[in-house]
Amino acid sequence: MKNKTLPELFEASVNRFTENVLLWEKKHDKYEGMTYGDCDKEVRRTSLGLLKLGLVKGDRVALISEGRNDWVISELAILFCGAVCVPLSVKIDEPADLLFRLNHAGCKGIIVSQNHQHKVFSLAADLEEVEFVIVLDTLDQLADRARAKHKFQVIDIKALRVLGDKSLDQLAGKLESVKDSLQPDDYANICYTSGTTADPKGIILSHQNYLHNVEQASLIFDVPPEYTSLHILPWDHSFAHTVGIYALIRNGASLASLKVGKTLNETLRNIPICINEVRPHFLLSVPALAKSFRKNIENGVKSKGAVALMLFRLGLRVAYAYNRQGNDKAKGFRRFLKPLYNLFDKTLFRKVRAGFGGRLQFFVGGGALLDIELQRFFYAIGMPMYQGYGLTEASPVISSNTPHFHKMGSSGKIVPRLDLKICSEDGQEKPIGEQGEIVVRGENVMVGYWKNEEATAEVLKDGWLYTGDLGYLDKEGYLYVLGRTKSLLIGSDGEKYSPEGIEEAMMEKSAYFDQVMLYNNQSPYTVALIVINKSAVLAYLSHLGLSATSEKGQEAALRKLKSEIDKYLPEGEFGGMFPPRWLPAATAFIAEPFSESNGLINSTMKMVRPAIHKYYEARIASLLTPEGKDLMNAANINTIASLTA
């Protein structure tokens, strides 16, 4: 029987996989498992506690926590009560940003982890509709002050469950009635956009949206009950929801959370330790993590000595030639490379995989575009990173490469039961191979934006979701995503081009560039903002016996940086990769990284272009003058000089 709500999905799996472990958590020295049956008991205890606090169908409850068992239990408990979960990022540190989301969603309750309760209690006087706050773990002194001064109730999760136990006889029937009354179109989540340049939008996802996308994902990826995944990405994202939580629940599989540290950086440092302990069968990833994994792998090989590094690089070349683009693997004479590839796999690549627990079958990549070189690398070492594409507005999976259908460089094939077309600016469908806006229609497409009819009408038209992303389909049905339509470079003649491929290539192929953003808004030429790698530049100057504070050193550094860009000119090492007119003719080299703290990247590590444009408005304008176009302009010289500060 088809499940109509997320609680039904969960209950069906509890009945089928009662003794299977659903949740793995490491609170102390080792991971301990919680079965589907035990998880069900905790969900019901929590649900009864929420009902006793006055939660009713349609209410909104915010969930602010690192990934952990109580994250899944809390969301399911909210849904069991017919309420709507509002998952919020733990990275939101600006009080005004958090307050807007809590008040805009009209949250009646907040469930927050110990590490982030101070954010909530510091806003206590301004929380408009909150009636209760539940803290996971221990209440701090701010909680006592908030409890004394304000009307809302403050308790910890253990006390809530005790309250639920005491309410069993009184409210058990009501819980079943409310849960069973839920319909597919009822709201499950309100997921907020980053909102760096405007007020965040609350994306409404229904039970049906998630269930449909879970089925779509399950049709293209085989996830048997014995599989385990370690959650590295933030749990508030719809990608983690659909693929990392509910798809696993649907299949009776298990998920593990990272051991939570006292700070975010401490939690991130736990990643390699937890991977080896959990030994996951698959991982969800984004490009920033993929790059970090590759760097760690390569550093590990280098530490083994020059011979090991030489053999590893030779093995990669053999693997690249054998694998080609994935869908044409081992065709023609390349099939004769299989014995040699197998030799490298057994002697080298298997040892690399052991560092990821030894059971890892694949990664699923989301977020920003994943450079094709990274895809080739992970495919070569036997841990394919299958690039996908999606939007939270689509719950989120739209397409993905899979073990059965994959072409490196693409975002895979469209998931089943979803319509997709490529449209011109006037909304007309374009033929295969031609670029345009990606437009989709299916039951996974969001309900709309919470309390924002105007924004909803802009992207939802006659049942179609206009994604704002540029792409095309090839003859084999693979989708290529080229970037946001709003990020396009627009020449003075009106011609358009997506910058993201150039930016990714420049960052991937140069040790001197950490971040790259190209800009052209109907200008005579393209300009670039490039965040340089301080250590790489200083090492280069040291090799030359020069200082970043000397005139000769500054000139040498800037010429070296320009030579890295010139590699993409027609006569350069990478000439022909991109049309010359879209390569930067003027560049601002900067030392301050684009980061979440300065608002120039969002929580998924994507650049927020409008924010960068505004932040560096004067610098960009100067690049379009003769003085700014000069490589040795004062601003670039000051950047090099500042590297020794």
* Mean pLDDT (the chain, rounded): 92
With cut-offs at 50, 70 and 90, classify the pLDDT of residue 604: low
- Cα angle: 298, vertex 286, 469; to 5 degrees: 135
Q: In terms of Cα–Cα distance, which of 7, 10, 8 is closest to 22?
A: 10
What is the crossing angle of helices 69-80 and 6-16, to 10°?
120
Chain segment 400-438, per-residue pLDDT in tens = 999 999 999 899 999 999 999 999 988 899 999 999 999
pLDDT at 269: 87
- Cα angle: 235, vertex 237, 238; to 5 degrees: 115
- Cα angle: 282, vertex 501, 531; to 5 degrees: 95
Q: In terms of Cα–Cα distance, which of 390, 330, 379 is closest to 352?
A: 379
Q: Write out the E strands in 510-639.
A: 513-519, 521-523, 527-532, 586-590
The residue with tokens 């004479």 is 333
With cut-offs at 50, 70 and 90, classify the pLDDT of residue 368: low
Q: What is the DSSP letter of 620?
A: H
**Mean pLDDT of the region 516-544:** 93
What share of the chain has pLDDT > 70, as a percent? 98
With cut-offs at 50, 70 and 90, classify the pLDDT of residue 320: very high
Coil, helix or strand for 450?
A: coil
**Mean pLDDT of the region 12-33:** 96
**pLDDT at 478 exceeding the cut of 70:** yes
Alpha-helical regions (H) of 433-574? 453-459, 500-509, 534-544, 551-566
**pLDDT at 195 exceeding the cut of 70:** no
With cut-offs at 50, 70 and 90, classify the pLDDT of residue 110: very high
CB distance 558 to 590 below 8 Å:
no
Tokens of 235: 């749990």
Coil, helix or strand for 577?
A: coil
With cut-offs at 50, 70 and 90, classify the pLDDT of residue 1: very low
Burial class, 547, CB count within 10 angstroms (exposed 0-12 / middle 13-18 / buried 19+): middle
CA dihedral 634, 636, 641, 645 (to 10 degrees): 120
Q: Cβ neighbours of residue 138 under 8 Å, at least 6 residues apart?
A: 114, 156
CB distance 447 to 494 below 8 Å:
no
- Cα angle: 49, vertex 51, 53; to 5 degrees: 75
φ/ψ of residue 296, rounded to 5: -65, -40
Tokens of 224: 């048997």
**Mean pLDDT of the region 441-452:** 98
Q: In terms of Cα–Cα distance, which of 425, 419, 455, 426 is closest to 440?
A: 419
Chain segment 201-251, per-residue pLDDT in tens = 999 999 999 999 999 999 999 999 999 999 998 899 999 999 999 999 999
Q: In terms of Cα–Cα distance, which of 191, 336, 356, 219 is closest to 289?
A: 356
The residue with tokens 């703290």 is 597
**pLDDT at 198 exceeding the cut of 70:** no
Q: Which residue has the higher pLDDT, 411 or 93?
A: 411
CATH 3.50.50.60 fits 412-485, yes or no: no
Q: Within 13 A of 495's CA, how many CA atoms are on the CB side?
A: 10
**pLDDT at 356 exceeding the cut of 70:** yes
Coil, helix or strand for 66?
A: coil
Can you tell me the distance from the alpha carbon of 141 to that of 124, in angstroms, rounded to the nearest whole number?
A: 13
With cut-offs at 50, 70 and 90, classify the pLDDT of residue 484: confident
Can you tell me the distance from the alpha carbon of 271 to that of 257, in angstroms, rounded to the nearest whole number?
A: 10
Q: Which residue has the higher pLDDT, 196 or 293?
A: 293
Phi-psi category of residue 382: left, alpha or beta, with phi > 0 → left and psi -120 to 50 → alpha? left
Q: Which fold has domain 6-208?
A: Rossmann fold (3.40.50)
**Mean pLDDT of the region 622-638:** 93
The reply to whether 412-485 shares the fold of 6-208 is no
Domain limits of the chain?
Answer: 6-208, 412-485, 488-644
Q: In terms of Cα–Cα distance, which of 376, 276, 365, 264 is closest to 329?
A: 376
Is the backbone peptide bond immediately before 7 cis, with ω within 30 degrees of 0?
no
**pLDDT at 196 exceeding the cut of 60:** no
φ/ψ of residue 136, rounded to 5: -80, 120
Chain segment 223-235, per-residue pLDDT in tens = 999 999 999 988 9
Render 192-254 in DSSP notation, one character per residue.
E---SSSPPPEEEEEHHHHHHHHHHHHHHS---TT-EEEE-S-TTSHHIIIIIIIHHHHHT-E
**Mean pLDDT of the region 457-486:** 91
Report how many helices (DSSP H) and strands (DSSP E) the chain contains, helices first. 26, 28
Q: Kindly report which listed range (132-146, 299-313, 345-359) carries the lowest average pLDDT score.
A: 132-146
Query: β-strands 397-400, 413-414: how paired?
Result: antiparallel
Q: In terms of Cα–Cα distance, which of 520, 519, 466, 529 is closest to 494?
A: 520
Can you tell me the distance from the alpha carbon of 55 to that of 167, in angstroms, rounded to the nearest whole number?
A: 14
What share of the chain has pLDDT > 90, as a percent? 77
Tokens of 155: 């308790």
Residue 641: Cβ within 10 Å count: 18
pLDDT at 312: 96
Tokens of 420: 């997709």
